[in-house]
């Protein structure tokens, strides 16, 4: 799953990228671990030889959005379409040494970029509708062209009013059409307002209200101070709590952003806990035990017999897997069982 960072120049996008990468950044594309205290607790109890957290791929290679003229170049549009999610970094700080294209106004800039996403999609829809006018099959119910024309006729006025496709209710068939066109405003969006140090813990009522509006519309939004986040990432783990406390923070804000990205991608985490390797696995929400087995290895899925499942809450209460099993918390599930976020599983298979 690839997450593309977008934003105006001087927004602090690359600083947040380095902070979120927790010192692992090598170049513009990096796999970033998803912070998960449950995984840390399992590792501490099992003490495996190898530990592998779940991760997402952050891509900071997209060119900055130009503040003058057309906001999105064709190159930027093409690269953004390859992403599974857009992480919009918005400047919400003032600085005498970092010039900006206008007076700093994070709400204006966030809305302006959203409008450009919608307009890019509207152009595609209008061009496609023009071509469909000349299609004979577009007049025949049940054909792909008819479905496209019906869908695009419905969503065009919504796009014209500034509504992103992600906010439009679509059937499964309509979602398939939308995915084929890689519409930018249909992609999940997470917004990070890059504030100054003084506003890291409390960004103010105006920005807080905007973040609440975005969250309610399905786009999680957070206030982060990217330079502070980068400084935190450079500290030893033992020194971080005291520094965070001095800032009025309980954890790095970049952790919350990465978890929000992970959730917005529609992912949950299941765990396999072994002495050789303990691993956190990303899985699409709603997936079955058979899909989880295939995520581990296709051969395990082919030989699937049963899944031994213990939820993390039961595991934590028991103190170990053996204790959870002894207390009857382990359940044997079939291939159609839907895996829940936090399940620890072991696949019984024909080997």
Q: Does one domain contain both 150 and 37?
A: yes
Same domain, yes or no: 121 and 214: yes
Provide the 10 A C-beta neighbour count for residue 173. 11
- Count structural domains, the chain: 2
Kindly state whether residues 133 and 183 are assigned to the same domain: yes
Could you tell me if 175 and 74 lie in one domain? yes
Answer yes or no: do 244 and 332 share one domain.
Answer: no
- The pLDDT value recorded for residue 22 is 82
- In a domain? residue 279: no
pLDDT of 69 over the 60 cut: no
In a shared domain, residues 243 and 322 = no
Global pTM value: 0.90
Q: Model confidence over 247-305: pLDDT tens digits?
A: 888 888 889 899 999 999 999 999 999 999 999 999 999 999 999 999 999 999 999 99
Same domain, 129 and 37: yes
The answer to the question of residue 272 being in a domain is no
User: Residue 12: how many CB atoms within 10 A of its CB?
Assistant: 26
Top-confidence residue, 50 or 64? 50
pLDDT classification of 59: cutoffs 50, 70, 90? very high
Question: Which of 264, 295, 329 is the C-terminal boundary of a domain?
Answer: 264
Task: Say whether both 250 and 152 belong to one domain.
Answer: yes
Q: What is the pLDDT of residue 52?
A: 97
In a domain, 236, yes or no: yes
Provide the mean pLDDT of the chain.
Answer: 92
User: Comparing C-alpha atoms, which of 200, 196, 194, 190 is closest to residue 250?
Assistant: 200
For the chain, give the secondary structure using H, E and C.
Answer: CEEEEECECCCCHHHHHHHHCCCCCCCCEEEEECCCHHHHHHHHHHCCCEEECCEEEEECCCCCECCCCCCCCHHHHHHHHCCCEEEEEEECCCCCCCCCCCCCCHHHHHHHHHHHHHHHHHHHHHHHHHHHCCCCHHHCCCCHHHHHHHHHHHHHHHHHCCCCHHHCCCCHHHHHHHHHHCCHHHCCEEEEEECCHHHCCCCCHHHHHHHHHHHHCCCCEEEECHHHHHHHHHCCHHHHHHHHHHCCCCCCHHHHHHHHHHHHCCEEEEEEECCCEEEEEEEECCCEHHHHHHHHCHHHHHCEEEEEEEEHHHHHHHCCHHHHHHCCCCEEECCCCECCCCEEEEEEECC
- Mean pLDDT, residues 319-332: 93
Domain membership of residue 340 as a residue range = 286-349
In a domain, 235, yes or no: yes
22 plus 151 within the same structural domain: yes
Residues 203 and 296 both lie in one domain: no
Residue 325: CATH number of its domain: 3.10.20.30
pLDDT of residue 99: 67
Does residue 175 share a domain with residue 70? yes
Regarding whether 300 and 237 lie in a shared domain, the answer is: no
The answer, yes or no, to whether residue 209 has pLDDT greater than 70, is yes
Whether 72 maps to a domain, the answer reads: yes
For residue 156, tell me if it sits in a domain: yes
Residue whose C-alpha is closest to residue 189's, from 260, 252, 123, 121: 260
Strand-pairing partners, residue 310, are: 344
Question: Residue 99: inside a domain, yes or no?
Answer: yes
Tell me the average pLDDT across 223-238.
88
**CATH number of the domain to which 250 belongs:** 3.40.50.300
Q: For 43, list phi and psi in degrees, rounded to 5.
A: -60, -40
Tell whether the model's pLDDT for residue 233 goes beyond 90. no
269 domain-assigned: no
Higher-confidence position of 69 and 272: 272
């Amino acid at each position: 799953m690839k997450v593309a960072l977008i934003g105006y120049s001087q927004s602090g996008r690359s600083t947040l990228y380095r902070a979120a990468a927790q010192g692992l950044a090598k170049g513009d594309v990096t796999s970033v671990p998803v912070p998960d205290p449950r995984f840390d607790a399992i590792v501490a109890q099992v003490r495996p030889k190898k530990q592998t957290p779940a991760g997402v791929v952050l891509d900071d290679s997209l060119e900055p959005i130009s503040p003058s003229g057309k906001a999105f170049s064709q190159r930027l549009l093409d690269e953004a379409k390859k992403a599974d999610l857009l992480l919009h970094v918005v400047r919400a700080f003032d600085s005498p040494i970092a010039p900006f294209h206008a007076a700093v106004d994070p709400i204006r800039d966030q809305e302006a970029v959203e409008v450009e996403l919608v307009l890019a999609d509207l152009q595609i829809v209008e061009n496609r509708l023009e071509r469909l006018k000349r299609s004979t099959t577009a007049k025949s119910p049940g054909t792909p062209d008819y479905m496209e024309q019906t869908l695009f006729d419905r969503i065009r006025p919504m796009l014209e009013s500034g509504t992103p496709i992600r906010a439009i209710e679509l059937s499964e068939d309509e979602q398939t059409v939308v995915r084929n066109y890689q519409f930018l405003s249909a992609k999940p969006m997470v917004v990070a307002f890059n504030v100054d140090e003084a506003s890291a813990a409390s960004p103010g009522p105006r920005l807080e209200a905007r973040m609440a509006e975005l969250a309610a519309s399905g786009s999680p939004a957070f206030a982060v101070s990217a330079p502070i986040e980068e400084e935190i990432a450079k500290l030893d783990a033992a020194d971080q709590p005291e520094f965070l406390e001095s800032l009025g923070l309980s954890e790095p804000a970049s952790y919350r952003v990465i978890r929000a990205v992970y959730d917005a991608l529609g992912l949950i985490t299941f765990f396999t806990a072994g002495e050789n390797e303990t691993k956190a696995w990303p899985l699409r929400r709603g997936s079955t035990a058979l899909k989880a087995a295939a995520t581990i290895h296709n051969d395990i899925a082919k030989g699937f017999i049963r899944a031994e499942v213990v939820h993390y809450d039961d595991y934590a209460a028991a103190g170990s897997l053996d204790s959870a099993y002894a207390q009857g918390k382990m359940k044997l599930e079939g291939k159609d069982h839907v895996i829940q976020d936090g399940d620890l599983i072991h696949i019984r298979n024909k080997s």
